[in-house]
Structure 1
C-alpha cells in the first residue's frame, strides 16, 4: 500500500492539469478506490482531493512568481477553464489572488510533494481479531453531524444527551446480535472526507437480520462480511483516534486486508467520560 500511495503521488505530479483516474489506478494496483482514498486520507492527514488542489496551486504559484506573463495560460495548464475559477481556487489555498502573487511574490502557502514511508517498529502489539458476520442490522437514533477528526465532537455529545435514560435501557434490551452493547456508528460519508463534512451518526444496537425493527428507530444495514476488531484502552477520545490512525500506519500495510465500504463502529466496554476501553470495528475484505 505504501508503494501504491507513492505511485499515486507521482501520478498527480506527472500532469498538473489531468483529472486523476483514481478508480483505474486502484484497479491497476490490485486494490479499490475506497481503500486507497481512506488510506491516503489517514496517512496524509488530508483527503486526496485536497492534496491535489493544494499541490496544483503550489505549482501554479511558482509559475506566477517566476514571471509567467499570462494568468489564463497558467490556469489552463493546471486544469481550470477560466481565470475566475482559477482565481477562486488560488485564493482558497494562498489567501491572495494570482495577480497579487505575481506582483508581490507572496505570501504563499506551499504544499510540498508528499512521500510515504513505512516505519516498522513492532514494539507495541495491536490487539486485533478478524471475524465474519452475516448482514448487520444496526438500529437506534441517528443524526446528521459534521465530521471532526480530532477531539470530542460536541454535536455527537448533544445528540446522545438528548436521548432519554430509559431509551438507553430499551435499546440494550433489544440487542440480540454481535457486536453487543450500545454502539457508536458513523457512516454515509465519502472515504476521504475533510473536517466539517456531514455524516450520519447512529447511537444504537445490533439486531439479528430476522428480528423485527421497532417503529420510530433509524436503521443502518450492512452487507455480511469480515470485520477487523481493534481493542484499545486509555484517555478518551485520544486513544480511539490514535487507534484509528494506527490501523492505517501499522496494521493495513502489513496485513493482506483492505477496507470495504461500510460504517465504522465503536463498542464501548467501559466508559467513564475521560477514560474508555473500547473496540473499533472496521469492515474489511481480503486484498
Structure 2
C-alpha cells in the first residue's frame, strides 16, 4: 500500500470513529474525547520531555468525570475557563518570540495542564447546550475546520506567495489563510441557514473563531515540535502522524467557542 492510500485509509478510519462516537451518544463522545486527550497528553509529554505524564492523564480523566457526574461546582468552571483562555492568548503572543526558552519541570507541567488538560475538558462539554447534548454542534465545527484546512491548503498551494509564519510553519501562506478563512465563513453561513441549532450570525461568529484560532492552534503545536526538532507528534495515525497533529486546531479553539456559546451568546 503506497503512502497516499495509507493516508486516505487512515483518515477514513479516524473520521468514521470520531463521527460515530459523536452521533451515537453523549457517553461515547465524552469517552472518545477523554481517550483522545489522554493520547495527546502522552504525545505532548514526549515532545517537551515531561516525565510523569500519568498525573496529567489522571487530572484530565478526573476533571471530566467530576463534571460529568455533576460534582464539579459549575461556578468554578468560569475560573478554569479564564485561566485557560489567558494561557492560550499567551501562547499566541509567544509565537512572535524568536528564541525558544528552556522550561523547568514546573513550567512544563503548567503548560501541559493549560495547553491540553483544560482545552480537552471544555471540548468534552462543548456540545451541551442547556444540559442538552447537541451532536450537530461539534460535527458542524469539525466541518468548518476541515473546510478551512482544505481550502487553506488548496489556495496556498496554487496562489500562495507571502509566508504567514515561515519561521514556524514554512508552508503556510497569508493567501492560503485568507482562502481558508473565506471558505470557512461561507461554510458557517450555509450551516446557519439550514441548521436547527443557533442562528446564522452565531455560526458566522463561530466560523471566524474556528478559522483564526484553529490556525493559531496549528502554529502553536508546530512551534512545540520545531523546538523539539521533530516533524510529527506521534505515529498512531499512519501517514498523518499523531493525534496531536490532527486535533491541534480543535482543542485549541474549544475554550474560545465554549466561552461564546455558554456565556456570551
Asked if these proteins are the same fold (TM beyond 0.5), I'd say: no
Structure of larger gyration radius? 1
The two structures have a TM-score, normalised by structure 2, of: 0.29
Higher helix share: 2
The two structures have a TM-score, normalised by structure 1, of: 0.27
Higher strand share: 1
